[in-house]
Structure 1
Amino acid sequence: MIAVHFDTWVYRLFLIWYICGIILLSFQLIPPALEWSNSVFLILAGLLGMLYFIRSYGTGRGMLLSLYIFLFTMTAEGFGVAYGVFFGDYFYNSDFGMMVQGVPITIGFAWLMVTATTHVLAKRILIFINRSHMLGAGGLSGQLLQRQSARLFLLKSLQKGRCLMKKAAKQPAFEWMFHQYNRAILKKHFHRISFRFHPPAVPAPAVFFVNHSSWWDPLIIHYANRELLLHDSFAMMDETGLSSYPFFQKLGAFSVYKKKSKEVLLSLRYASSLLDNDKSIWLFPQGEEKHAERRPLEFMGGLAYLAKKHPEVLFIPVSVYYSFIHEQKPQVFLEIGRSCQKKDFQTLNRHKITSQFEKILTEQLDQLRSAVIHEELSRFSLLVKGNTPLSEGYRNSFLK
C-alpha cells in the first residue's frame, strides 16, 4: 500500500499549484519561463485520480485500472488527432510537454482525473437514487408537493407585499479585482477594443445610454468607465439578469422588474437618488438585448423620466459595435458621443423625449457602423489590445 502521507503530500501540492495557477491566469502574469507549469498541473491531477482508484480498489486493481484508463484515453486521443474521429479535427501544441503520436502524455493524466471525478459523482448519484427509493413513491411525492407549495407561497408573498428591486452593493476591493479579471477576459476574447471619445471630459453626474446587442456590453462599458471616464457609476440591470449574475451588484448594478410599473418606478427613483448624490448612471434603454442591425431601437421610457427629473444632468449617447476585420477574433468599437442639448427635450413630453433620445443614438450607431464597414478607423484610439491569436501564429509559421 502507498503511505497515507504521500496522498496528503500530492493533494497539498496540487492545491498550491491550482491556487497559484488561478492567480497567474486571472491577471495574465504567467511568464514564458513557466510554460511547463501546465504539464506539472495535469500530472498532479492524474496522480490524484490514480490514488483515488488505489484507495477505492486496492493497490493492484487500482494500478491496473489507472493504467487501462491512461492507455485507452491516449489511444483514443491519438486516433482523434490523426483522423479527426471522436472529437473532430484538432491538434495539441508543445505547451503540454512530451508527446506520443501527437498527443502529450499529460493528456492521459488529465483523463485519469476526469474519470476519477466522474466516478465519485456517479457514486453520489446512485446513493441519492437508492435513498429516494427507500422513501417510497408516496412519501417522495408528498415531499416534492410540499416544497413546490412553499416556493409558490414565497413567490406570491414577494410579488404582493415586497419590493423585488435589488439595490447596488458596491465593494471597491471587489470592483478592483474584477477590473483586473475583466481586462484578462477581454484581451482573451477580442483582437482589439477601440474607442472614439468626442467630449474632452464628462463631469459627474451624467447619464450614459447605450445600445444593447451583446452579453459583453456590461463588461465593456465597465472597463471603459474605469479606464476613461473615472465616474462613480451605477447601472440599471434587468432583474432576471441580475439574479443570474448577482456579482454585478458588487460592481454597482441595481435591478429593474419590468413586468410591474410600480417596480420600474422604484428603480427609477433609486437611480434619481443616485444622481442627486453625484453618481453617474448607465442605462440600456432598449430594455433587453436586440440585434445591432435592428431598427428601430425601441427605447423604453425610463430615460425620459430621468431627463425630466434632472434637467441639469448631462445625457451622453454611447454606441457599441462588434465586427470581424481581417483577424481571427472580433473587434469592438465604442463611441462616447456629445451630450444631448437640453433645448432638444426640455419642452417635450416624455414620449417625445424618448423618441428624441432614440433618434440621437440611432444616428450615432449608424455612423459608427458605417465607419467600421468602410474601415475609416483613423480617429479611433486603443482601449484594449487582445492576446496574440492562433491565426497570427499560423501566419508567422507560414511566413518563415
Structure 2
Amino acid sequence: MAFIPADESPWFIKCFRIYTWLLFKRRFSNVWLIQDYHPERTSRTIYYLNHHSWWDGLIPFLLNEFRFHQQARAMMEDKQMQRYPFFRKIGAFSISREDPKSSIRSLRYAVKSLLRPSASLYIYPEGKITPPGSNLIFKNGLSWLGKQVSDIDIVPIGIYMHTIRSDKPELHLSVGSPVPVEPKLSNEERSRLFEQKLEAILSDLQQTAGFDDAGFERFI
C-alpha cells in the first residue's frame, strides 16, 4: 500500500475544529483534563498515547487546537487512512504495520515533520487498538524517533473513559511531564521507560476518574 502523506488544509482545520468540539460535547457527559505540560513557542514535542478506542484519532486534534497550538502531525495506520481520508487534512500520515520498508519511510517523514518550527507529533506506540487494562507493549518506533531530533520533549498522554456516574460516558485526559531519558539507554530500555511512565498515568486515572475530580479541570 502506497505511503499517504499529510496534506493540511487551513480551511478544513478551521471548520473541523468547531465540528470536533461539538462532537465531543454531544457524545460525552464531561471531558476532564490534567495538564502538566505546556509547550513553549520553540518547543518540539512527541506526544505518545494509549490506544483503546476510535476516539483516540480525534483526541490529538482536540488537544492541539484548544491547548497546545503547535504544528501537529500524527501517525495513522494506512488502512484507517484509506477508510477516513479526511484525516490527511488535519495532519495525519500513514504507517503500515505489515510493510517494514513503508514503516521506515513513515518514520523518516515523521523526523522531517519534527524539524519544522513548533512541531509536534502524536504517536500510538502499541501500533494498534488494544483492550483497556491490558499491559502496554511498545514497538521501538517511539524510542528511535526520540534519538533523531535534538531538544525534543517526549510527553505521555493517558486516555480513560468510563460510565461510572452516568449512562453517557465521561472522558478523562492526563497530559504528563516530559520523560527524562539518558542517552546511553538502548531502544528497548527507552521503550520500557516510556511504558512505565504512561502506565503510572493510567493507573492514577483508573483510581480517581469518576470518584474524585480534584486536580482535573473541565475541558469540555
TM-score range relative to shorter protein = over 0.9
Is 1:381 the equivalent of 2:220?
A: no
For structure 1, list consecutive stretches of 5 or more residues without a partner in the other structure. 1-158, 385-400
Shift of 1:347: 0.8
| Aligned CA-pair RMSD | 1.2
Shift of 1:328: 2.5
Paired position in structure 1 for 2:88: 249
Paired position in structure 1 for 2:188: 351
One-letter code aligned to 2:189: K
Identity %: 27
Distance (Å, rounded) in 2 between the aligned partners of 1:317 and 1:208:
6
Distance (Å, rounded) in 2 between the aligned partners of 1:368 and 1:326:
15
Paired position in structure 2 for 1:84: none
Distance (Å, rounded) in 1 between the aligned partners of 2:150 and 2:178:
12
**Alpha-carbon contact 1:311-1:342 (below 8 Å) kept:** no
Shift of 1:342: 2.8
Is 1:240 the equivalent of 2:76?
A: no
Paired position in structure 2 for 1:72: none
Aligned match for 2:23, one of 185, 194, 206: 185
Paired position in structure 2 for 1:173: 11
**Alpha-carbon contact 1:235-1:254 (below 8 Å) kept:** yes
Distance (Å, rounded) in 2 between the aligned partners of 1:289 and 1:313:
26
1:243-392 aligned within 5 A:
243-278=82-117, 279-295=119-135, 297-343=136-182, 346-372=183-209, 375-384=211-220
Paired position in structure 2 for 1:218: 57
Superposed CA offset, 1:228-265 (max 9, x none): 11111000000001110000000000000111111111
TM-score by length of 1: 0.53
Distance (Å, rounded) in 1 between the aligned partners of 2:27 and 2:92:
23
Name the structure where strand makes up a greater proportion of residues. 2
Shift of 1:220: 2.2
Shift of 1:298: 1.0
> How many residues were matched structurally?
217
Name the structure where helix makes up a greater proportion of residues. 1
Q: Which has the larger radius of gyration?
A: 1
**Alpha-carbon contact 1:196-1:381 (below 8 Å) kept:** yes
Distance (Å, rounded) in 1 between the aligned partners of 2:93 and 2:17:
19
Moved over 4 A (4+): none
One-letter code aligned to 2:54: W
**Alpha-carbon contact 2:44-2:151 (below 8 Å) kept:** no
Shift of 1:221: 2.3
**Alpha-carbon contact 1:194-1:382 (below 8 Å) kept:** yes
TM-score by length of 2: 0.95
For structure 2, list consecutive stretches of 5 or more residues without a partner in the other structure. none
Distance (Å, rounded) in 1 between the aligned partners of 2:158 and 2:63:
12
